[in-house]
A and B are shown apart, each in its own frame.
Chain A
Amino acid sequence: MSASGSLWLIPALPLLGAAINLLIGKRLGRSAGILATALVVASFVVSVAVVGSLLALGAEERIHTQHLFEWIRVGGFSVGADLRLDALSAVMILVVTGIGSLIHLYAIGYMHGDPRYGRFFAYLNLFVSFMLVLVLGENLLLLYVGWEGVGLCSYLLIGFWFEKTENANAAKKAFVTTRIGDTAMMIGLALLVLRFGTLDFSVIFGSAAGTLTKGAATTIALLLFAGAVGKSAQVPLHVWLPDAMAGPTPVSALIHAATMVTAGVYLVLRMHVIFEISGVALTVVAITGLVTMLFAGTCAFGQDDIKRVLAYSTVSQLGYMFMAAGMRAYSIALFMLVAHAFYKALMFLGAGSVMHGMHEETDMKRMGGLIRKMPVTGVTFIVGALALAGVFPLSGFFAKDEILEVASSTGRPWMYVLGTVGALVSALYMGRLVFLTFFGRARSEEAEHAHESSLVMTIPLIVLAVGAAVAGILDTSTDGLISRFVEPVVGSVPEGAAGIARSAVVTISLSLAVVGLFVTWVVYASGKIDWLALRVRMQPAQRVLEHGWYVDNYYSALLVTPGKAAAAWLAYVFDAKVVDGVVNGIGAAVRALARSGRRLQTGLVRTYALAFLAGAICLLVYVGFRL
């Protein structure tokens, strides 16, 4: 089968897995996980083959499309089920299927013994399938289908253990919050249809410059970005991601680190043409990314739950990606996406391994010294942490470094400075996490008796660690492999001569990372400072950070409580009294009418006879007058 002809296999294989597991998952037992993993691996193999054939083509012709069938045709508007493989989607499918396979493998061991084992893998496969549809779609409607699909699977998977109310609530919160963004995005799609008459990428990108005014482009871009804000958990729609940690750890790794949350970044990258016509939109993107990055970084520092640190960290790292996109450094944003997928998924899986060893304990205060008990997990985790903190020569260093360099060289001093501060913050919270968890004395029973996880869980960790470490070679500079690969799609990285030299940027960020890690080692692991006492003294500040600057509470007071009150009013007052009142009123009116009408039926012959007579006389008079 040709490359174009086999595009459909990539999303179809996991979909098949989902269907099989949904129908007969229970009977398959342990094989459900193996089947699901095998299908994602198969999809990965097909992806590699297809991308390989893409590479064989010349740089400007690297596009494979496959038209599956005509999906919608209404009047002049038609949408086909078309798949498109270009450099951008190629990178995405490799990330999704590759890291997805590793996470599936991990989940076989992690979810062992769960009563709904088969359903878990069905949902996981379904998610991968939808994500692939999202990135492979040739038009915005297919993208939206994938978008909504991953939102659905995220809801299903976050609330997988729905017996606990807080898990179900977290799933609801995720769905509702992303819905806000999705609705804005839908409006953006509608506007696009109005302007272009179609949602096909090729048509839109081809005629965008001529058809859209700056104002229209800004509106559309901002609406689409709102969807990205929701899906990628940026401020102010970030509140769902920390709570989403209620789901099983493989879910957090796959959805909330490597793939779904990156859909927002993909959207901006894909639709960059429109963003560029409106310069304002890009500024909004960059600023949102910047704010989120700093905000979430500080919150990550105040968390005690290991997964929540990683959640806020994800939000922060996504902020970096949006910063890059806002500065038109799209390929760097993409590279950071890839690197982040590796080390964040790695760290989440590592956290899951830690939790397994600690009997599902997530409070870092009760951990400590785990590196001795769980060496593989520990070492791989540290690799990931160092990558995130931006230590040379791991992947994160290159990604972060390039973003800062672009900020500096294109004359954005504030971005550069704040970005560097953010780099320090990330080093701080990562160091805190690593040192509290893996070093120092064991601070609880579980930590004393922790044990390493099984092979099926540690192998993915090792593979991901290798990836996190060496992925840097993909884009060692702004003219690296990935940048050149995706250049035909997203353009080249802007260059400038402003700001400080590259070497200065590198030195500063590297030293800040080292400083941050050193400080946290001193505080948390060296034993020289009683960090518990310090923590007690700084309780109020720590509380603020732990509660995410109380954003959730503000939302609750401003939106949730009035919303619930309105819903209660509608249900108990409006519906019960007004709507039911009208309906019952109609019934009552009919009954009253019938009651008065019934009085005619006296059942007595004589009244009927009287009526006859009266009628007859009237008729007689009438006829008499006529004649």
Chain B
Amino acid sequence: MRTPIAYFLVLSSILFAIGTVGVLVRKNALIIFMSVELQLNAVNLTLVAFSRMHNSLDGQVLAFFSMVVAAAEVVVGLAIIVSVYRRIRSVNVDDAEALRG
């Protein structure tokens, strides 16, 4: 492979940053959630890159586990979003401000 590993690391950090900005800027809960998924994927990319760099499969296994957990998380998260929607009839996170002090 001729691509320096560092390129993958920087790329993943860019994707992570995009995901972070998405979490902070968007108001639709579902899109926020999708941004979180983007963040998770960026991290997976980093893991696999390092696995290649260190010549071991641990990184790939960890990425695999990350995917599993992300799947579970998506299931529960979407169920929560549906419950909250039933309550406040909106997926706008700004409408869920009952904890406002």
Residues of A within 8 A of B (CB): 598-606, 609-610, 613
Docked Cα-Cα span, A601 to B97, in Å, equals: 10
Q: B100 within 8 Å of A by Cβ?
A: yes
Q: Are B100 and A601 in contact, CB atoms less than 8 angstroms apart?
A: yes
Chain B residues with Cβ below 8 Å from A609 are 23-24
CB of B99 within 8 Å of the partner chain: yes
Q: What is the bound-complex CA distance between A599 and B100, given in angstroms?
A: 9
A155 to B23, alpha carbons, bound, how many Å? 81
Max chain A CB contacts within 10 Å: which of B32, B93, B100, B101?
A: B101
Measured between beta carbons, the chain A residues less than 8 angstroms from B24 are 606, 609-610, 613
B27 contacts which chain A residues (CB < 8 A)? 606
Known: A606-B24, A610-B24. A600 touches B101 (CB 8 A): yes
Contact A606 B93 (CB under 8 A): yes
Chain B residues positioned under 8 Å from A602 (CB to CB): 97, 100-101
Docked CA distance A603–B88 (Å): 15
Give the number of residue pairs across the A-B interface with Cβ within 8 Å: 33
The answer to whether the Cβ of B10 comes within 8 Å of any Cβ in the partner chain is: no
Which residue on chain B has the smallest CB distance to residue A608? B99
Q: Please name all residues of chain A whose beta carbon is closer than 8 Å to the beta carbon of B93 when the two chains form the complex.
A: 604-606
Report how far A555 CA is from B86 CA in the complex, Å: 82
Please measure, in the bound complex, the distance between the C-alpha atom of A566 and the C-alpha atom of B74, giving whole angstroms: 75
- CB nearest neighbor in B for A607: B24
**Chain B 68-101 against A: per-residue CB contact (8 Å), 1 yes, 0 no?**
0000000000000000000000000110111111
| A613→B27 CA distance, assembly (Å) | 17
Cβ of B66 within 8 Å of any chain A Cβ, yes or no, is: no
11 A-B interface contacts by CB (under 8 A): A599-B101, A601-B99, A601-B101, A602-B101, A603-B99, A603-B101, A604-B94, A605-B32, A605-B96, A606-B23, A606-B24
CA distance A609 to B24 in the complex (A): 6
A-B pairs, 6 with minimum CB distance? A601-B101, A603-B100, A603-B97, A598-B101, A603-B99, A605-B93
Closest to A605 in B: B93
Inside 8 A of A603's CB, which chain B residues have their CB? 96-101
Question: In the complex, what residues of A have CB within 8 A of residue B51's CB?
Answer: none
From A598, A604, A613, B97 is in contact (CB under 8 Å) with A604
CB distance from B52 to the nearest CB of A (A): 23
- Name A594's closest neighbour in chain B (CB-CB): B101
Indicate if B60 sits at the interface (CB-CB under 8 A): no
Q: Tell me, in angstroms, the Cα distance from A603 to B20 when the chains sit together.
A: 19
Contact partners of A600 in chain B: CB under 8 A = 101
Besides A603-B97, A609-B23, 6 other A-B contacts (C-beta < 8 A): A603-B96, A603-B100, A609-B24, A610-B24, A613-B20, A613-B24
Query: What's the Cα separation between A599 and B101 when bound, in Å?
Result: 7
A599 nearest CB neighbor, chain B only? B101
Q: In whole angstroms, what is the CA distance A369 to B10 when docked?
A: 128
A613 to B20, CA, bound (A): 8
Chain B residues, CB < 8 A from A601: 99-101
Q: Which residue of B lies closest to A610 (CB)?
A: B24
Q: How far apart are A92's CB and chain B's nearest CB, in angstroms?
A: 76
Instruction: Please give the distance in Å from B77's CB to the nearest CB on chain A.
Output: 13
Residues of chain A contacted by B25 (CB below 8 angstroms): 606
Bitwise interface map of B from 20 to 44 toward A, beta carbon under 8 Å scored 1, else 0? 1001110100001000000000000
B100 — which chain A residues lie within 8 A by C-beta?
601-604
How far is A499 from B93 in the complex, measured between Cα atoms in Å? 114
Query: From B98, which residue of chain A is reached at the shortest CB distance?
Result: A603
Instruction: Closest A residue to B20 by CB, please name it.
Output: A613
- Closest residue of chain B to A602, judged by CB? B100
Shortest distance from the beta carbon of A109 to any chain B beta carbon, whole Å: 78
CA distance A529 to B57 in the complex (A): 139
B87 nearest CB across to chain A (Å): 15
Cα distance A613–B21 in the bound complex, in angstroms = 10
Task: Point out the residues of chain B lying under 8 angstroms from A606, CB to CB.
Answer: 23-25, 27, 93-94
For the complex, give the distance between the alpha carbons of A471 and B101 in Å.
Answer: 90
Bound together, the chains give a CA A610 to CA B93 distance in angstroms of 14
Residue from A601, A602, A605, A609 with most neighbouring chain B CB atoms (10 Å): A605
- Taking the nearest CB of chain B, how far is it from the CB of A611, in angstroms? 10
Nearest-CB distance from B37 to chain A (Å)? 15
Which chain B residue lies CB-closest to A600?
B101
